[in-house]
Structure 1
Amino acid sequence: MKHFKHTIKLKVTFLLASIVLLQSCSDFLEQEPGTQTSITEQLKNKEGVLQAMRGMYGEVEAAVRTAPFAVYADLQGGNLKFTPTISSGTSNGQITVAGSVTGIYSFDDVAESSNFASFYGNCYDIINQTNLFLEFTDALPDATIEEKNQIKAEALTIRAYIHFLLSEIYAQNYGYTADASHPGIVYNKTSINEKLTYPARETVANTYTFIIEDITTALNLYSGVNLFDGPSYSYFNKISAKALLAKVYLSKKDWKNAYDTANDIITNSGVNLISSDNYIAQWEQPDLPVSEILLEFSIPRSNDGAVSGSLFAQYGYTNNTNYGTYAASDDLVNLYENTDIRKQLFLTRSIPTIVNLQSVPRDYNFTKKFQNNPGYVAFRLSEQYLIRAEAAIGLNNPDQARTDINSIRARAKASLLTNNNNIADLLFLERRKELCFEGHLFFDIARNKKDVSRNDGCISLSCGLTYPSTKYVLPIPRRNITLNSNLKQNESY
């Protein structure tokens, strides 16, 4: 698998109360240590823009691949538990909460030292970069109309994608209030390059309107030009932009548009579900993503091809002295029927664990989805079938929903649904099983207004949440609140 090298990191840093990235305000692109180029100089031609965009894609990959975001939805929802500590000291074999999630895991993150503070700032850094590309691209003297349109389309889609991620973390689900008038997020459409602005949060209704506007505008601009070397599935295109749009419509519970968009992808994308015979083998392959991938951000590699970071750090297993921080909870594993081939995606290993001050063997189930050199799975086709199914239920078409659920269950060799009884709950569980560790569960719980119940492996004083709760969202970092009097904190923080 050919991966792009992250040889440039766009550093447009700015002092914005909702976005604080660094403590000082600077206005440059840092290409290599010790060299700086002004924004105007860097973005004056196509090569400079594309170089900067490659760096931006690298920042997107780092943001979604790194804990706490990479594990947030599955950890909070109950799909994950912690593995024993690997240490040469007395802590070896003990079960402790990973430092990167200490606040969120207990549903008690604090604004002063939020686990997500860096994520928040990095996301708005990425957004600012997309705005710069949108502002400079039309003036490029050496780019064709098709190339300019493709640049703008990808920038708009990434802007929408990052705002959507922020909304899921910092804003209650769309249906939290009847008209979605509750607080959303700051939606930034212009670069912070020349002057400071102090924006307020939009409502969730407005946030979703802006996200959808960005994606639909992008869909009319995609020209099909390949701007970058490397695998096409590592960059946004028209199909993966539609996949994002379907997910946004689903979160909004806009059933008709969610159904139509997912149906369009299923029918016209040319991508097919992985077959039963290949399902396990494709997840086990070391470098390539599964064949039904719609978007997987490429992992970073050094000049000699060595991987410098992947999801293996969270989920991997090599031996009893080299494994990731998280394993699957029995809450998840026990949902699968014995005939379900997805149960073969768990690698069960016995690891010495300290229990009542004694070291005893305990089995841990590591997922095979993210072994070797795994990239971050943003969208794949199975999710679109499940989106279409949920939208069909919303449109009072349970037969279509059952057909779509059975498409996933048949591939997994699980028993098929023969009636529509409790179909919404069965769909929820099917999403949990099929999309585990891909960043969905906690957001599915919130969207469906369900309670959180974590049992196996929970070592927090708070192992559940009752909906509705202010703890379904995280605090905006305090430093951002302090600098912007227009930025209101989430309730209870």
Structure 2
Amino acid sequence: MKKNILTATLLAMPLMFFTACSDFLDTAPDNRIEINNTDQITPLLVSAYPNKSAALMGEMSSDNVMDNGAQFDAMLLQEQLYNWEDPTDTDDDGPYGLWESCYAAIASANQALEGIEMLGNPANLNPQRGEALVCRAYSHFLLSSIFCMPYNPNTADQQLGIPYTKETEKDVIVPHERGTLAQTYKLIEEDIKEGLPLITDASYKVPKYHFNKKAANAFAARFYLYYQKWDKVIEHATAAIGNNPANTLRHWEEDFGSLSLVSDVAAQYISEKKTANLLISTAYSSAGYVTGPYSIYQRFGHGQEIYNKETINVNGPWHARGGLVMADFIISVKQKNPFPKIVTYFEYTDKASQIGYRHTVSVPFTVDETILCRAEAYVLSSQHNYTKALEDINNWIVYHSNRSADRGSDLTVDDVNNFYDPLPYEPAMVNIATERSLKKKLNPEGFTVNAGTEENLIQLILQLRRLEGLQEGLRWHDLKRYGIEFSHNHAGRSPEVLTKDDQRRAIQLPQDVINAGITANPRN
């Protein structure tokens, strides 16, 4: 699905973009809503959430996918991302779609904030102000995660950030500087710190369609994980999870054990009623078709070699609990091996001509991913609290496993060390399936992982995060954060390695944006 709107610069009226790729209007058209009463703020914030997704960019760039062979079909965007090429299409799931969507959402958040200020910042609008600030931080975070190199405190003041916009545009052509990644992260943190305490769940009709308190804390936990502020990760993750993870984690056996239809499993996964689901999001996207249980776009996917050697079907410490429930629901598209976790539907605008829009419904923040953020932070914090980290790890494993098959026992430090110490590291260039391994060489950006127990726990946590984030693109960001070098195989030619310093780890900006004067990402 492609929208017939082109963007040549950052500037965005809150609800529409008004430039073509090479021909700017010489007057400032202004269709923005004039806010003159408090009732207009809440509806405006509906558009402060991006309606495009970064999932496909992350997933196709990561080590979760392989080339299944030229006999299968693929989208152009899919192929370009897999090859780590600069995408050329203006696809919804590509750089153009995310850039346009995030800055439109930011513009809506800024307009709401300006409206609240014009109304005198009344206390009854504090929840809306909080939501707008967190939404603004979130869109900037998505953009920086895709279009920037990983945050490294030693180099962030030298790395390109993304333009951080804090007010609506008043002119058609407005010059924007990208600034540094250090500046971008600082501004994201400022918005989170100011906005999160103001959020009130009671202000929402359906809290999980908005940044409710727990979802906002889960976002903050992930942000601080990437920011390497471990104590803040623990603080916000704990606020999102609550005091008893057993009551909030997804219970896989209970939720999915009696289901057989793909549609039922997917509906259960994204259900607003599930405590584990903190934020539910919709997007114009083909990601569900590309990664899901459909016999299309099968060339680049989560193929059998990866499925059996590195992810769902490989033996791991979690097998002490009977194995992963998700393994029982892998659909028979062997080039993708998908668990049905993204609801996909088609909106017809012309049924006779089969024309319309592809939509997805997904869950960008869950208790299950957030508890792994906290486990990682426990390991890396100055206290190196391996006991607390193992509590979170064991809770994750217990509720993701076939406990009725074999309850097993909680993992200990010795169990983790005994599993990972003998494993060989996977080589950066994998030529044959037997070279694949669960153990990766870690080259973390800006922090140290000590050999032995600390590294083994991180290896396990990264593996659980890989399983948790399958099809969602989250693995790409962990590969960046830890400087993990890996290769993509190619039908008919040698595999290609993405080294830890390869500048293609920052996906290229849309060409229209570069043409408009925004600095492009450098290339080696």
TM band (smaller chain)? 0.7 to 0.9
Structure-1-length-normalised TM-score = 0.76
Offset of residue 172 of structure 1: 0.7
For the residues of structure 2 that align with 1:478 and 1:385, how far apart are their CA atoms?
Answer: 38
Cα 1:438–1:342 change in 2 (3 A) is farther
Q: Spell out, residue by residue over 1:385-409, the C-alpha distance to the aligned partner (whole angstroms, 9 max, x if none).
A: 1111111111122222222112111
TM-score, normalised via structure 2 length: 0.72
Match of 1:52 among 37, 44, 47: 44
Distance 1:405 1:158 in 2: 30
Deviation at 1:430, TM superposition (A): 1.3
Tell me by how many angstroms 1:324 deviates.
12
What SS does the corresponding residue of 1:453 show, helix, strand or coil?
strand
* Aligned equivalent of 2:504: 471
Match of 2:62 in 1: 77
Distance in 1 separating the partners of 2:468 and 2:500: 24
Out of 265, 274, 277, the position equivalent to 2:253 is 277
Render the CA deviation track for 1:240-283: whole Å, top value 9, x for unaligned. 11111111110011111112221222235996112253243598
1:53-452 correspondence to structure 2 within 5 Å? 53-57=45-49, 60=50, 62-64=51-53, 69-81=54-66, 94-109=71-86, 115-140=94-119, 145-146=123-124, 148-175=125-152, 177-178=154-155, 180-194=157-171, 196-227=173-204, 229=205, 231-267=206-242, 272-281=248-257, 284=265, 286=267, 288-289=271-272, 290-298=274-282, 312-317=288-293, 327=302, 329-330=306-307, 331-335=310-314, 337=316, 339-344=322-327, 346-349=329-332, 365-371=337-343, 375-395=361-381, 396-413=384-401, 416-419=410-413, 421=453, 422-452=456-486
2:388 is paired with a residue whose SS is helix
2: CA distance, partners of 1:459 / 1:296 = 41
Q: How many residues align?
A: 432
> Distance between the aligned counterparts of 2:368 and 2:498, measured in 1?
28
> Residues 372-428 of structure 1: CA distance to partner in whole angstroms, max 9, x if unpaired?
666221100011211111111111222222221121112233875321531111111
Q: SS of the residue aligned with 1:100?
A: helix
Which letter maps to 1:402? L
Which is further off, 392-401 or 271-280? 271-280
1:140 is displaced (CA, Å) by 4.5
1:313 is aligned with what amino acid?
Y
Q: 1:332 is paired with a residue of what secondary structure? A: coil
The 10-residue stretch of structure 1 (461-470 or 399-408) with the greater mean CA deviation from structure 2: 461-470
Q: Which is further off, 259-268 or 154-163? A: 259-268
Which range moves more in the overlay, 420-429 or 208-217?
420-429
- Is there any run of 5+ residues in structure 2 with no aligned partner, and where? 346-359, 403-407, 418-452
Matched residues in 1 for 2:481 and 2:156: separation? 15
Is the Cα contact below 8 Å between 2:28 and 2:172 reproduced in 1? no
| Cα gap change, 1:393 to 1:159, in 2 (>3 Å) | same
Q: 2-side partners of 1:176 and 1:75: how far apart?
A: 27
Partner amino acid, structure 2, of 1:155: A
Return the alpha-carbon distance in structure 1 between the equivalents of residues 191 and 243 of structure 2. 22
CA distance in 1, matches of 2:65, 2:116: 43
Q: 1:336 to 1:298 in 2, by over 3 A?
A: farther
Q: Which secondary structure does the structure 1 equivalent of 2:473 belong to?
A: coil
Distance 2:97 2:71 in 1: 28
Instruction: Output the CA distance in 2 between the equivalents of 1:118 and 1:363.
Output: 26
Task: Structure 1 unaligned segments of length 5 or more: list them.
Answer: 1-8, 30-37, 85-92, 301-308, 351-361
Q: Distance in 2 between matches of 1:459 and 1:164?
A: 38
AA partner of residue 234 (structure 2): Y
Q: Does the 8 Å contact 1:112/1:479 carry over to 2?
A: no
Partner Cα separation in structure 2 for residue 190 and residue 124 of structure 1: 11
2-structure distance, mates of 1:269, 1:240: 17
* Partner Cα distance (2:228, 2:216) in 1: 18
Paired letter, 1:408: W
- The corresponding residue for 1:3 is none
Whether the 8 Å contact between 1:312 and 1:324 is mirrored in structure 2 is no
The answer for the alignment partner of 2:19 in structure 1 is 22
